[in-house]
Amino acid sequence: MRTDPTHALPGLDPGPAIAKEISRVAGYEIEDELRAGSSRSGSPGTIAGVDEVGRGAWAGPVVVCAAVTDLTPPPVLQGRGKRTVSLTDSKLLTEAHRASFAEVLPGWLAGHAIGASSPEEIDELGMTEALRRAAVRALESLPVPPDVVILDGKHDFLSRPWRVRCEVKADQRSVTVAAASVLAKVHRDRLMADLDGEFPGYGFADSAGYPSPTHQKTLEESGPTPHHRLSWSYLDDLPRWRHLKKHRDPLAGEGQLSLL
């Protein structure tokens, strides 16, 4: 795979922002733009959608899913009456609908894979690098390496050698990213629910490691578990547990940690 930016595929640059309403139902808008931009080559190549979950949590891993479709219409769910539920950003779906989509998406997708970075990696490397590693693990586990990656958001945390198209609200505009969004969310929620049995009281099954009132109260009383991110600033507000805070030493090189 070539890494020279002069060989970037047409369509990677989203161009100037245009004010427009974004549909709550994901389609192939971004994929179609990429395919149109590469029409001279005769093939759009393989397009992977990537989305993450868990970036802002206090506990648990950050999880990334990479998904590839065959550009066919995505599955829909039967709602109440004659209503149907379409694939979109996981945050716009109910928990039950996310679970139902997670059952049917693997059979519809041309390929998908999950990557993760642990709390220890996040503490050691920082979130940007931990997120990049999780995404690379997912992408490298796909059956076929993608030619283009669609990232949800403004920032390219992936970079070379991947050819990347960044788009805000990509999970509402790209079926491929929406599928990745749902699978990443369901995977991580189930993982955190499993931890709830081992560490009761933190509300992991309900909050998935995010700072809910229950989570904060138990943290103050019992301290962090082995699954908490110890470089996070929440420890600054917990006098009993502040000594556990991990600090990255800027003079010792990337990834060096110390307990102060």
| Residues making up the binding site | 51-52, 152
Numbered residues of the known binding site for a divalent metal cation: 51-52, 152
- Residue 11, classified by CB atoms within 10 Å of its CB into exposed (0-12), middle (13-18) or buried (19+), is buried
The residues that bridge with 59 in the sheet, in sequence order, are 228
- Residue that is written with structure tokens 């917990």 in the block: 238
Alpha carbons 62 and 185: distance in angstroms, whole number: 10
Q: Which helix (H) or strand (E) holds 205?
A: helix 204-207
203: left (phi over 0), alpha (psi -120 to 50) or beta: left
- Separation in Å, CA 15 to CA 10, 18, 167, 182: 11, 9, 10, 27
Q: What angle do CA 54, 198, 129 make, to 5 degrees?
A: 25
Strand extents, DSSP E, 143-248? 148-152, 164-167, 246-248
How many CA atoms within 13 Å lie on the side-chain side of 249? 8
Evaluate whether 226 touches 213 at the Cβ level (below 8 Å): no
Alpha carbons 154 and 175: distance in angstroms, whole number: 18
- Separation in Å, CA 4 to CA 1, 9, 44, 132, 146: 9, 11, 19, 20, 16
